[in-house]
Amino acid sequence: MTPARLRLGLLALLAAAALVAGAAARAQEAAPGAEPASVVGPPSGAPLAGAALEARTEEVGGLLRCPVCQGLSVADSPATMAVNMKAQVKELLAQGYSQEQILAYFEHSYGEFVRLEPPLRGVNWLVWLGPLLALAIGGAVVVRVVLRSRRGEQASEPVAADAPGRDTLPDDPELARYVRRVRELAYGWPDGRPPKAA
Partner 1 sequence: MSDPQATTNGAPSRAFNPRVLLVGLLVVAPLVAVLLVNLGRNPHVIGSPLVGRPAPDFSLQPLDGGEPVTLASLRGRPAVLNFWASWCVPCFQEHPLLVAASRSLGDRVRFVGVIYEDSEEQVRSFLARQGSAYPSLVDPGSRTAIAFGIFGVPETYFLDAEGRITAKHIGPLDAASLRAKLEQAGVTP
Binding site for partner 1 (CB under 8 A): 1, 6, 9-10, 12-13, 16-17, 19-20, 23, 26-27, 30, 32-35, 38, 67-68, 70, 80-81, 84-85, 87-88, 106-111, 113, 152, 155-161, 163-166, 187, 194, 197
| Burial zone of 102 (CB within 10 Å; 0-12 exposed, 13-18 middle, 19+ buried) | buried
Q: Which is nearer to partner 1, 10 or 169 (CB)?
A: 10
Q: Which is nearer to partner 1, 78 or 152 (CB)?
A: 152
- Separation between Cα atoms, residue 105 and residue 99, nearest integer Å: 10
- Separation between Cα atoms, residue 58 and residue 75, nearest integer Å: 6
Q: Which is nearer to partner 1, 150 or 156 (CB)?
A: 156
User: In angstroms, what is the minimal distance from the CB of 171 to partner 1?
Assistant: 20
Q: Which is nearer to partner 1, 113 or 128 (CB)?
A: 113
Q: Which is nearer to partner 1, 6 or 51 (CB)?
A: 6
Nearest of 183, 145, 125, 170 to residue 3 by alpha carbon: 145
User: In angstroms, what is the minimal distance from the CB of 26 to partner 1?
Assistant: 6
User: In angstroms, what is the minimal distance from the CB of 114 to partner 1?
Assistant: 8
User: In angstroms, what is the minimal distance from the CB of 59 to partner 1?
Assistant: 19
Tell me how many degrees the CA angle 25-85-69 measures, rounded to the nearest 5: 65
CB environment 59-86: b (16+ within 10 A), e (fewer) = ebbebbbbbeeeeebbbebeeeebeebb
Neighbouring CB atoms inside 10 A of 1's CB total: 8
- Separation between Cα atoms, residue 117 and residue 106, nearest integer Å: 13
User: In angstroms, what is the minimal distance from the CB of 31 to partner 1?
Assistant: 9
